[in-house]
Each structure stands twice: as structure tokens, then as C-alpha cells.
Structure 1
Amino acid sequence: MNAAGSLINQWTSPRRATRLEGMRQEEIWDRDTAQRYDTPGTGMFAPEVLEPAVARLAELADGGRALEFAIGTGRVAVPLSERGVPVSGIELSGPMIEQLRTKAGPERIPVVVGDMSTALVERTFSLVYLVYNTISNLQTQAEQVECFRNAARHLSPGGCFVIELWVPELRQLPPGRSATVWENSPGYIALDTYDTLQQHVVSHHFHFGSGSTAQLFRSPHRYIWPAELDLMGQLAGFTLESRHADWSGAPFTASSRSHVSVYRHDPPRD
């Protein structure tokens, strides 16, 4: 049995919880995680991943200000600001903000500490964006709806809310199993364990070298189908403007593993 198969057997017991019970998001995104988060030039920091996202967001900002929910260490915000887009952020994790501050000061990228579904920034924006699946960090449908409503609060009329999100891979689940391996590469295995009743998933990231031990990082999520995401947008006054499979504009199809969705907000006029 290969390493991926062994890990599936280990993590797919029906009795094994798929949520990190009792852990708050700020405990998961702690100092150790923040210090290991950036991988310059590789993974989500690879130029072919990052540059199309920044280019598309700069286009959607259309000369206005941008607000990033869950700004993290500034993976997107820093290069976006370098393109001349004024960027602000909301972030729950203090250690992630500390890492951001090694790249850009508060005058350049101001950040409000708080939950992206409730925290307020005292200005309006032409663009609010939420990348790399982060809306799924909110663990209930109600919180995810409130995230849309919070985006609406921050947008000027006609502004847009952009979400990058993965498509749940439930079709990949074999009978009797509750996990899928979504990446298996040298030194790294990633798998998701699903609780389909609660619509919860935990992502497990295993990093290892030539020895017999591995380093594990886990994060809990609530997965969202594209149609459910659209309904959340409607509840907050948004209309879906476009949906593509990636930041470069590839068509979104039934086999797409993720999507970039652009929602336009036009509040009712008196």
C-alpha cells in the first residue's frame, strides 16, 4: 500500500471527527503556522498562480480601493498594492498580521483585526475580495451569509465581491470512505475528510522528508456548492456577474475543481 492509501485508512474511520472540536480560527492560524505560511515562488505563491489573480483583481478594482477579507500575510494584498491599488484588510489572526508587517507597514496596507463576517472598516471600496477558499473557514451557513452581507456594507454602489473557492470533491469519495486525496507529490500529501451530514470538511496537510516522520497541519471548513454560494449572494443583494475555473478566465465546467466568482452589488435606490 502506498503512503496516500495508508493515510486514507488512518483518517477515514467513521468514529474519527472531521472537525477540530473546540478550536477557534485564531488558535489554528497561530504563530507557528504564520511563520511557515509563506512559500515564495512555490505553491500558492508561484508566479503562475499569483500573477493572474493579482492582474484580475486590479482590473476589477477599476481604479478604486480594494478590501481583502482574511488578508493573512499579504500574499495577494502586497503585490496588488504594488500595482497602485490602495488595499486594506480584515484579519482575525495576530500572528498572520505580524508576518504581513514584515512586508508592508500599516500606512501602506491598513488592517482591522476581527472576523471577516462582522468587522468594519471605516470607508467604502469598489472591490472586496476573498481568495483561496477562505470563506469556507467560516463554520456555519449563517456566518457565510453574514460574510456576504459584510462585503455589501463595504462596497460603493456597483462594486463587486470576488470569491475564489474549491468545488467539493464528493464524486471522488469511494463507497464506505469519507476522504479524498487531492494532492500527492514528493514530500507532500493532502487529503480532505468529509462529514456530508454537516457539510464539514477537514483538510490534512502532511509534509515529510526522507525519514519516517511527517509534519501535519489541519484546518476545518464548511464546504459550499456554487449554487448555494449564489443564493447567499442573492440574500445580500448581489448578482452573479461571472464565474470561471481560474483567474485567467478558463471556462467553468462540471469537471472544474475550483472557481472564481464575481458578484456585483447594486443596492436598491429610494
Structure 2
Amino acid sequence: MKEVLSRVGIGSATVDTVLPTTTLTAGESVDAEVHVEGGSTDQEVDAIYFALLTRYETDDSTRTGVVDKFRVADPFTIEAGERRTFAVTIDVPRDTPVTVGRTNVWLETGLDIDWAVDPDDEDPLQVAPGPRLATVFDALESLGFTVRTAECEAAPGGLFSGSFVQEIEFVPRSGPFSGRLDELEVVPRPTADSLEVGLEVDRRGGLLSEMSDLDERLTRLRFTDESADEVERRLREEIETHA
């Protein structure tokens, strides 16, 4: 009976990932421990799996987006009541969404057990931007912009690859664009050696232009290893061109 119950999750093994911190930086690696505790009966575990997840909006629903997923550990048996600890290294992809605005990111850990409900564990994360994106954020702040909101959305065709992107909405509270722009929408896309940034410049316009979206201008910049001053200069010139 215990074996039957464990297959539907009653008295099954449990799993818990212990991170040194829940604040991570996109592009970094972090060492963690996975604690597995046996249930009321022995169980065969094929693997420990991880998924880094977020939510993104489509035109008609909210979906769970997979930033990354991977498996660790060889198959093993967790005996009833046994406790085992596994040391793992978790790589946080450089394109992990930053947890600002309405963006949530969490780590799901699970045990792959045949013919049973897989036990799992969820850990909410705070994700800070990688160095290049942090420089862009600092430059926009210097230009008088502040973050109003952010969320992940289904990727618009032709802008970037992938099923979803993060859109971060800034508003000019001061500086050279205050009173000239309604908002600036930023879509970052880090790669191994650069950062692509899609910009949507939403100019202040009359009712007609607002209704027809004529006040919006799309552009894109690519950054590699420019200085903070150079990043700010390029952003200012590009926004100025479309303001």
C-alpha cells in the first residue's frame, strides 16, 4: 500500500534546493545543495532536474516560459527515510529576465521518478542585470529615465528570436527628454559577446498620432565593451534621433 500511495505523491520522497542567496546576477554561476529525503518506501530516481521559469503574456493568456532547464545526477535509489545531499552548480543564463516591475523568476527542482507524481520544490529568485545591461540602466538613469514597469511578452515577429522577451518601460522624469516623450520601451537581448537593445521611442503627440501609433518609433542598438560614458552618449543620440 505504501508503494501505491507514493506513486500518487503520498509518502513520496521530497526535494529541496538550498541556495547561498536568492539574489542572482544574469550570466553568473552559483553553487547550491539539493537535499533529497526518502518517503515511506524506497524509490528509484532517474535524475534531478532543474527549470528556471518566468511568466509571459500573449494576446489572450499568461503562460509559463522556460528560460533554461537541465538535469543532474546519475540514477539512484532513495531509501525510505534516507537523506542525501547533492552539490550542484547552477548557471544563470545571461538572457534571464531581470526581476523588476511585474517580472517574476523562480527555480523549480524536481525528482524524475517513473510511474509516480514527481516531487518538486520552487524557489523565487531576484535576478539582477548582467554588467552590460546594468550599464544601460545606469545610462538611462543619468538621462532622467526611471523604470515604470516591466513584464515578459510573447516575442513579436522579426524583432528577436525566442518565444518571449522582456519589455522594460521607462518614463522620463527629468533630463533632456522630460516633457518630450511619453515613454521609452527597452527590450534587451544579451548574447555571448554583446548586448542587443531594442528601443521603442513613444513621442508625445496629438490625439490622431496617438490613435494611429504614429508617435512610436522602433530602433535597435548593439553594445559590446563600451565605457559608461559612451553607452550614455549612444543612447542619447539614438533617442534624440527619434524623439
User: What band does the TM-score fall into relative to the shorter chain?
Assistant: under 0.3
Task: Give the structure with the larger helix fraction.
Answer: 1
Q: TM-score, normalised by structure 1?
A: 0.22
